[in-house]
Amino acid sequence: MISWFGSRLIQALLVMLAMTVIVFIGVNVVGDPVAILIPPDATAAERLRVVQAFGLDRPLWEQYFSFLNGVLHGDLGRSYVYNQPALQVILQRLPATMELAASAMLVAIVIGIPLGLYAGLRPDSPLAKLFMAGSVLGFSLPTFWVGLMLIMIFSVNLGWLPASGRGETVELFGMRWSFLTLDGLSHLALPALNLALFKIALVMRLVRAGVREVLPQDYIRYARARGLREGRVIWVHVLKNILIPVVTIIGLEFGSVIAFSIVTETIFAWPGMGKLIIDSINVLDRPVMVAYLMMIVVIFVVINLLVDLAYTLLDPRVRLAARGKS
Amino acid sequence: MVNLPETPSIHNAATDRPEAAWRRVWRDYRGSPVAVVMLALLGVILVLALLAPLISPQNPYDLMQLDIMEGLLPPGTEASSGDMIYHLGTDDQGRDMLSAILHGLRISLFVGVVSAVCAVLVGATLGLFAAYRGGRTESVIMRLVDLQLSFPTILVALMILAFLGKGISNVILALIIVEWATYARTARGTALVESRREYIEAAHCLGVPLYRIIFRHLLPNCMTPLIVIGTVQIARAITLEATLSFLGIGVPVTEPSLGLLIANGYQYMFAGQYWLSFFPGIALLVTIVAINLVGDRLRDVFNPKGQA
């Protein structure tokens, strides 16, 4: 088990190393850093000075190692726009994104599980069929389109909820949060719902499939034969058994929620990492772009590692297969 | 091959040519009226996109035809020149929205189809190669597929476009890089089953070259799942392109796809000028839903067991 985890950890580190190479090549070979650093009307002497100052005349591998060295020390350059260390700019935006992503996940669970339970328990009722058709739409509708519709309906036409920003925030643990104030919550509602839509469909389908699988099992029949109340059978015997895969998938999907928050944050002007990266790409703020990409790679590699670990701990079959290999 | 109940026919083997197989697929496909309507709708959308330069009332790229004084007119307004009616209104530069949507649809479909075709070529080749060669080749290719699929598509595409910059060809390239892995996985899964079959072994023993075994023997027998996945993936490619363009990192302003049209009209929505974003959004939505429903039906037709 420990050796398996060790090899998995080494693999994760290799992926991160590979990503630094890809990001480095992307920034320095595909894109031209000189073109960004130097105004087009600069003289040849000025050009040379900047090139030397940034070490761009050195061989590529030497530049890569100084880049890698910077990454390992948390030094990813200074943002051209904010004139602060790029990593710090990203980290300042992290809580807003995490708040949005966590809220979206919560919404997906709170709405998705009951709908999935209903659709699983009464698969032939018209309402269940409606839910299933809705979930197909939830999968295929573009996130940004749904966001626009939400704004059009709830902000522009009905005027119920605000469409942009975080609203009033409260400081807690040195970070600002929206969910602690009423105004902040009203700002959080639409973006969270927008981001959650895809996941609601996913959770609902997972729960429904789980219920369909568990219901014909002997222990359910036995529980009913014992004369347990239907509520208890569903909440304890059915739900408890289907929640393990659901929880695992939800954990796995957290990364994709963070990725899709790029879209939601841009639509709702939510000041998180996703909006920051889009703004940075548009003004070519390369240090921030690099810092964001490295940050996202770390988040993903860690999530994938945790999910693998969770699978191994939860499912003996995976554990045995891993042991057989190593 | 096509996994359908056998039709009772004496000359089954003789009539089982590709045309006959397609006829059988069509007969099964007709079973769902919704899917037939969606297929017809998709046909209309394709024709509209192909003929956009001929049928649109105005050339939306020709700045000489635009009059900024005609900007932001609501749907149904007659042009001041009197020679046309803006059925879907105009944008901020006085561009007829109907014309803009038809041309945008053309770009969206072009990007989606081209990227899907290229991604199938790359992905299927690598997948078949992996399945046929096995061993180290297979594990390297499949590790790459796993790695690729563990990152959300939008993130990979964003990363590529952040480096390459805007542009239709860059978007297509990004979509190919994002999508090939799905096809590779599908192709390998099917080919693993097929490559154990006797006809492949026979071809191998006859000394048929590798590329010929893969493309002439293996590929035709792995087409069914690739077609099904491909249909749905085109919808996903169009969605992703629209999303990227909406974020302002996709197609350039000079060649607006549906996503970019929606983005351009976004700010006017708050002033109640909904038509700038709403109609391109509907066009995008109808296209995506139509492709998805056709794809779903194809999946059911090709794989009757998987209908659950």
In B, which residues are within 8 Å of A262 by CB distance? 154-155, 158, 247
In B, which residues are within 8 Å of A255 by CB distance? 152
Residues A199 and A319 in one domain: yes
Average the pLDDT over each of A71-80, B98-107, B152-161 and give the range with the smallest value.
A71-80
B140 touches chain A (CB under 8 A): no
List the domain range (segments joined by +) for residue A143: 88-325
Residues of chain A with confidence (pLDDT) below 70:
1, 29-40, 54-56, 167-175, 178-180, 314-326
Angle at A181 between CA A178 and CA A182, to 5 degrees: 115
Closest chain B residue to A15, measured at CA: B147
Among residues B144, B232, B142, B120, the alpha carbon closest in space to that of B192 is found at B142
Residues A19 and A159 in one domain: no
Please report, for chain B, the start and end positions of each structural domain, with discontinuous segments joined by +.
Answer: 31-63+76-306
Q: Is residue A181 part of a domain?
A: yes
Beta bridge mates, B78 = B85
Residues A174 and A219 in one domain: yes
Q: Per the structure, how many domains does chain A have?
A: 2
Q: Is residue A129 part of a domain?
A: yes
SS3 of residue B90 by DSSP: strand
In B, which residues are within 8 Å of A296 by CB distance? 155
Tally of CB atoms within 10 A around B156:
19
Angle at B134 between CA B132 and CA B139, to 5 degrees: 130
Residues A95 and A56 in one domain: no
B264 touches chain A (CB under 8 A): no
Among residues B221, B124, B136, B134, the alpha carbon closest in space to that of B181 is found at B124
Q: Is residue A111 part of a domain?
A: yes
Contact at CB, B155 and A296, closer than 8 angstroms:
yes
Residues A155 and A16 in one domain: no
Residues A229 and A171 in one domain: yes
Give B214-261 pLDDT, tens digit per residue. 888 888 888 888 888 888 888 889 989 989 988 888 888 778 888 888
pLDDT at B188 over 80: yes
Among residues B114, B86, B132, the alpha carbon closest in space to that of B173 is found at B114
How would you classify residue B211: left for phi > 0, otherwise alpha for psi between -120 and 50, otherwise beta? alpha
Closest chain B residue to A280, measured at CA: B162
A interface with B, Cβ–Cβ < 8 A, is: 15, 23, 26-27, 30-31, 136-137, 140-145, 148-149, 151-152, 155-156, 163, 255-256, 259-260, 262-263, 266-267, 277-278, 281-282, 289, 293, 296, 300, 304
What CATH architecture does domain B31-63+76-306 belong to? Orthogonal Bundle (1.10)
Q: Is residue A77 part of a domain?
A: no
Q: Is residue A304 part of a domain?
A: yes
Residues A53 and A164 in one domain: no
B282 touches chain A (CB under 8 A): no
Whether residue B256 contacts residue B248, with contact meaning beta carbons closer than 8 Å, is answered with no
pLDDT level of residue B172 (50, 70, 90 thresholds): very high
Q: Is residue A78 part of a domain?
A: no
**CATH value at residue A101:** 1.10.3720.10
Residues A96 and A57 in one domain: no
Q: Which of B139, B158, B291 to mutate to test the interface with A (most CBs of A within 10 A)?
A: B158
Residues A234 and A153 in one domain: yes
Tally of CB atoms within 10 A around A283:
11
Query: Which residues neighbour B57 within 8 Å (Cβ) at sequence distance 6 or greater?
Result: B84, B96, B98, B99
Among residues A209, A189, A194, the alpha carbon closest in space to that of A249 is found at A209
Burial group, residue B223, by CB count within 10 angstroms (0-12, 13-18, 19+)? middle
The last residue of one of the domains, among A10, A38, A72, is A72
The last residue of one of the domains, among A38, A72, A106, is A72
Q: Which of B154, B162, B246 lies nearest to residue A259, judging by beta carbons? A: B154
pLDDT the model gives residue B114: 92
**CA B233 to mean position of chain CA atoms:** 6
**CA A223 to mean position of chain CA atoms:** 39
Pinpoint the alpha helices (H) of chain A. Answer: 2-25, 33-37, 44-53, 60-72, 86-121, 126-140, 143-150, 182-214, 218-225, 230-232, 239-267, 273-282, 286-314, 316-325
Which one has a higher pLDDT value, B7 or B217? Answer: B217
Distance CA B195, CA B139 (A): 17
Residues A161 and A249 in one domain: yes
Q: Is residue A82 part of a domain?
A: no
Contact at CB, A142 and B277, closer than 8 angstroms:
no
Distance CA B130, CA B288 (A): 32
Give A272-296 pLDDT, tens digit per residue. 888 888 888 887 777 888 888 888 8
> How many angstroms separate the CA of residue A141 from the nearest CA in chain B?
7
Helix or strand holding residue A196 (H, E): helix A182-214
Among residues B116, B40, B48, B114, the alpha carbon closest in space to that of B297 is found at B40
Contact at CB, B239 and A142, closer than 8 angstroms:
yes
Contact at CB, A163 and B155, closer than 8 angstroms:
no
What integer is the mean pLDDT of B137-155?
84
Distance CA B103, CA B3 (A): 40
The last residue of one of the domains, among A44, A72, A100, is A72
> How many angstroms separate the CA of residue A133 from the nearest CA in chain B?
11
